[in-house]
Structure 1
């Protein structure tokens, strides 16, 4: 089944020429009829910007692809079911050649799957997921492995999606993507090809072209629905309501080199139950000096066939590449607008004020090293963005000639929360730090206390580190996407540095302490892997002890209170969903299957959203994250049964007292 896709080379050469000609025609027509700024449509290929526009979509590449040599494997995010069609088309138009796509069988109807297979699409046969001792599974995996090896030897580029398809409820990392990546790793380790160049790729949209009204509804892409989606894009191309997309390729790197260097970064890890449960229950105050082990993506047959060490390599490589893809993604105007309306102006805002805040948030995003997928005059840009969000936004005209922009309360807020999540990676470090500061002040200052009163409190560096670590352990690994070689303590220092850089924290000189600006020899923590200033030796004779505590205060600048609240609210949908899940423990019907309990919790989130207006929390993916986090934390226990695994409430959290402790632990990080 897979081998037929490798042998259809002559047909694909014809498709090559036809699509390349079509791409050139569309490019010239787009440039003539509706020219857009170079910053929006520039394609950087060896320093020569070339405009390219296809079906109302603007494409932008950050860097040229590597030259002929090792085979290329693109590892991409997955925002739309059309990504598998659009990405090969645009890369083909830039001379990359025919791109083989590893499709998820669930994404396509049987008719479309048969067509894509003839055009070079790769589909993993169901037998490949059979048990290791199954003869059918062994044969299927051998055929797939041989087909992939033939593809790599012939240096044909391959596209693998590292994220699950949009609308699929579950972990962020794709089990199928890891299975294909595991086969690539196996080919390099077996010497079939000397090396492979891995290229992190990212696709972002103003609005996902195939999104249905239900944000998280999943409908397989059929032959006619796919054709209609393309026709709609062509119709949008000539209309005023232009929907844009961006394709980003991050820095390619060698798989062989990564494999050699990655193993030296592996250290000891503990489960979330070991790390966090004693602190939640008040039995311990010290956070263990180790990393969190949290793997939510199921291991499929092709990955199980690898050695345990190689399975760990593939999982960490997947997270490493996905981090690079997300960091190179463009932030679209709809994400910025949704963030402002959801977290700053749920009750409405004047258009004149919204213009200034849109410009401010765009500048803050650019300052953090993220690209934006738009350009043009500010007023036209904001009006265009509001037109894209018109189903979720109401415009009210007032007597002074201004407009009031009001987000529509109801399920539309869930869509705004879904869009605003695209902006979170740009501010994630600051958001984690702000929520940690909020948790540190929760026991000292009333939550509604004035900013001046909160600024009186001294915050020690050790306290901040501890609070950040607690929040890092609580947040899902799929959200944080920390590098496998990056320790939590290094991330704590990064968070603290970001809070100082953005002006929220100010170093405080305490009596008798070393001045913060003193660059002389200091005793620093060995955990941070720092050396004293000016010492570049590798001698082990240096005495590194715990550094003297540094202290900070909240800045009293006029903009700080609003910015602090804004950062805290970026994580509020997830943290509120976790808090509501803790409150639901004494109401939920247990024992139940995992899917059944997730559905119970989701119904509870929807009910409380109707009562409190917190529709940003009424998301099935947040319900799944809460249930899985509580399972890792030891709040829920999974036990076998004749009907399959069943969730039970653990004896430790069967008491109402411990349930309230868990809820209070989560609520300390939430800023209303």
Structure 2
């Protein structure tokens, strides 16, 4: 099959097989395949438990005991039974009747209460900077406060909400095949409402529809109208005016002005008073912790951290006793509003352009059988007050990547410093800067903690599994019969690692549905004996498959980091193309593995790793090593000079061990590291290990190859230049290199931006102020071509071809 695919002329192949391929899609592949029962029977792992270290009471009390006995519900499936009425007419008006029966609280204008708050009264009386008495009359200040309130929110419009719910329900049923929600997760959320504290939903951000879909889901589950903190840059003024009546909150642009600006002080005081009134009234709030889709920048949202910082400040000052934080994730088979070019953020969405986009989407979906499946996930709620008291992080004594990694890259040092990496890419807004420094740190690590929980609770969709198999295992094509078996294998491996999947059913139906969603990026070819060959379309479509496969990476991230670290450890001992048996001869000591894993952890961006702030790098190293042993890639090798590796009994217990916090590895004597220095491992010689090892290494190959190409581009780039200009240079170089190599998975603007920012942290690129703005320069250290080659060689040691 490979020979046939490599030798065929692509142009003639498309013409000859276009009709045959169309018939294959329409006939359901034309194969008789055996039906397969749902994967692992009824077993699904429970995901989304809160951190037992930071929130032990919430971990125990807010968990629903019978969660695994509850099933799923399709939120958009509304029938006659969902209303109080029955009959022929009801069956045709059930959507409208359902929207009328939803509980929407009586609309009331919160402006008088906000005006009576302490912060606003201080402004009107001139007791704080930015208020009356500084050249402005109290009436003018009061008028400005009302203007800011009108920009932030508006009173809810019940009739408009019901009308919008009816229209949205009708639209969602034509856009999506289903919107699945776990009943047990919803039970936990309802249990958290009984505590009496307001609910703060902290969500990932996969689609522009998330801000509409999630409030609709929560309204349908009886939680009332959800207030949503929306990015004002994504909407036009007319659309913002409509969304404010539906419960959306918008941050005024004056809130990001400098701290000494009177307009900024006034705007931040009004926003703070609005959040106070909202939390005191017990209304739920939705905050997106990720940047909007298509936004080339850091993963953590600066706007989301600003809103979360206000909530933290209100709780810490005792205005409300507590707030319940709920991690939320939403996953799609295929993001419905993904633009054709994801590398550039789209223009703000207008009211009429949004309506036209909805009509075009309905026209496209009319009669389409390959509709999208959606899964909404709610993690276990936890107490913000409890987290604030118990939160422990490894932030003390951090060093920049330049001090941690640059001496090792250049060969000046071989010892990895015993400290954590300092890497903060998310810009700090005016609202966050107005907080105390310790509160800013608390908000940043809380955001990272919750986003880690949200990603861990997100189910893996079938398109992510299929894209991973086609991209990293069978880029030259695979028989459909073999693909079915590997789809089942990878699904079970995902479930066994504690990650849920967003699908179930017969294997043939799942495969047909998934390949139909990926139809624009795969080709079906018929071969002898009635089998089919599935081939990824060569070209930039592989970049799309790489983005889909990124959703599967969190499930295998620890093993992937460990496999790439082992590859780097073996790079200087055996040839990269050497046989597996030769690589298995080498003994790998535990200290060497720790060092290599730490180097890779420092190199990879924090946005990818999303490690918990309460977990040190050395704890993560041990977790990686344990995962490699559990999956069978590493086998402990016992040496005669040391006690057996399986003997975990300690020779002595020091007094420090009795009180030392978990994750603290500073006292090597009490941890008895001298005993572990002799522990060695070999690569397992099982038949499945070479393929699985290669598969794990390739999961990180898009980012590592982008970093290696960025290092190779250093001597070709035109510097000095602005960051945006240099980023465009690098992106064009990545696309040209991908075209030459035929490997498009790393030709992504997001990966290019990660490479530029990592090189800035590493001291390769320096940002120097200039009259025209900040300019990127190549640092004197890496102006030397030899040092550039050392950097590229350091990165390429982790890449497995």
- Determine if the TM-score, normalized by the shorter chain, exceeds 0.5: yes
The match for 1:57 is: none
Check whether the contact 2:161–2:246 (CA below 8 A) recurs between aligned residues.
no
The structural deviation recorded for 1:264 is 6.2
- Work out the CA distance in 1 between the residues paired with 2:298 and 2:735: 21
Selected match of 1:363 from 485, 492, 506 = 492
The match for 1:375 is: 504
1:139 aligns with 2:287: no
Alignment of 1:12-411 (within 5 A): 12=158, 14-15=159-160, 41=180, 43-45=182-184, 66-67=193-194, 69-219=196-346, 220-228=348-356, 230=358, 236=365, 239-263=368-392, 266-411=395-540
- Work out the CA distance in 2 between the residues paired with 1:541 and 1:388: 56
- Work out the CA distance in 2 between the residues paired with 1:382 and 1:91: 31
Check whether the contact 2:177–2:372 (CA below 8 A) recurs between aligned residues.
no
Check whether the contact 1:591–1:646 (CA below 8 A) recurs between aligned residues.
yes
- SS of the equivalent of 1:391 reads helix
Check whether the contact 2:153–2:248 (CA below 8 A) recurs between aligned residues.
no
Q: Which moved more, 1:406-415 or 1:226-235?
A: 226-235
- Work out the CA distance in 1 between the residues paired with 2:389 and 2:401: 29
- Work out the CA distance in 1 between the residues paired with 2:519 and 2:185: 40
- Work out the CA distance in 1 between the residues paired with 2:153 and 2:290: 28
- Work out the CA distance in 2 between the residues paired with 1:467 and 1:275: 13
In structure 2, the CA distance between the partners of 1:68 and 1:407, relative to structure 1 (3 Å rule), is: same
- SS of the equivalent of 1:244 reads strand
Check whether the contact 2:156–2:246 (CA below 8 A) recurs between aligned residues.
no
Alignment of 1:652-671 (within 5 A): 652-671=781-800
1:11 aligns with 2:139: no
TM-score after normalising by structure 1: 0.91
Q: Which moved more, 1:237-246 or 1:188-197?
A: 237-246
In structure 2, the CA distance between the partners of 1:395 and 1:530, relative to structure 1 (3 Å rule), is: farther
Check whether the contact 1:100–1:156 (CA below 8 A) recurs between aligned residues.
yes
- SS of the equivalent of 2:713 reads helix
Check whether the contact 2:395–2:420 (CA below 8 A) recurs between aligned residues.
no
In structure 2, the CA distance between the partners of 1:332 and 1:237, relative to structure 1 (3 Å rule), is: farther
Check whether the contact 2:185–2:378 (CA below 8 A) recurs between aligned residues.
no
Check whether the contact 2:177–2:373 (CA below 8 A) recurs between aligned residues.
no
Deviations 1:180-213 (A, max 9, x none): 1111111111222111111110011011110111
Deviations 1:36-79 (A, max 9, x none): 8xxx846415898xxxxxxxxxxxx9986543510111110000
Higher RCO by CA contacts (8 Å cutoff, separation 6 or greater): 2
Check whether the contact 1:609–1:615 (CA below 8 A) recurs between aligned residues.
yes
- SS of the equivalent of 1:604 reads helix
Alignment of 1:469-508 (within 5 A): 469-508=598-637
The structural deviation recorded for 1:5 is 7.7
- SS of the equivalent of 2:377 reads strand
Deviations 1:423-475 (A, max 9, x none): 00000000000000000000000000000000000000000000000000000
Alignment of 1:416-435 (within 5 A): 416-435=545-564
The structural deviation recorded for 1:256 is 1.1
- Work out the CA distance in 1 between the residues paired with 2:463 and 2:654: 43
- Work out the CA distance in 2 between the residues paired with 1:83 and 1:484: 27
Q: Which moved more, 1:108-117 or 1:410-419?
A: 108-117
- Work out the CA distance in 1 between the residues paired with 2:521 and 2:737: 20
Deviations 1:67-113 (A, max 9, x none): 35101111100000111111111111111111011111121122211
Deviations 1:145-185 (A, max 9, x none): 11111111111111110000111101000111111111111
In structure 2, the CA distance between the partners of 1:587 and 1:226, relative to structure 1 (3 Å rule), is: same
The structural deviation recorded for 1:229 is 5.1
- SS of the equivalent of 1:510 reads coil
Check whether the contact 2:153–2:249 (CA below 8 A) recurs between aligned residues.
no
Check whether the contact 1:522–1:547 (CA below 8 A) recurs between aligned residues.
no
Aligned residue pairs, count:
645
Deviations 1:304-345 (A, max 9, x none): 111111111111111000000000001000000000011011
The structural deviation recorded for 1:544 is 4.1
- Work out the CA distance in 1 between the residues paired with 2:150 and 2:281: 15
Computing the radius of gyration from Cα coordinates, the structure with the larger value is 2
The match for 2:140 is: none
The match for 1:53 is: none
In structure 2, the CA distance between the partners of 1:252 and 1:611, relative to structure 1 (3 Å rule), is: same
1:617 aligns with 2:749: no
Q: Which moved more, 1:212-221 or 1:569-578?
A: 212-221
- SS of the equivalent of 1:405 reads strand
- Work out the CA distance in 2 between the residues paired with 1:530 and 1:226: 59
TM-score after normalising by structure 2: 0.77
Check whether the contact 2:156–2:245 (CA below 8 A) recurs between aligned residues.
no
Check whether the contact 2:580–2:690 (CA below 8 A) recurs between aligned residues.
yes
Selected match of 2:776 from 647, 651, 654 = 647
The structural deviation recorded for 1:26 is 9.6
Check whether the contact 1:639–1:648 (CA below 8 A) recurs between aligned residues.
yes
- Work out the CA distance in 1 between the residues paired with 2:165 and 2:755: 47
Q: Which moved more, 1:117-126 or 1:226-235?
A: 226-235
Deviations 1:489-542 (A, max 9, x none): 0000000000000010011111222111223224799999999xxxxxxx9996
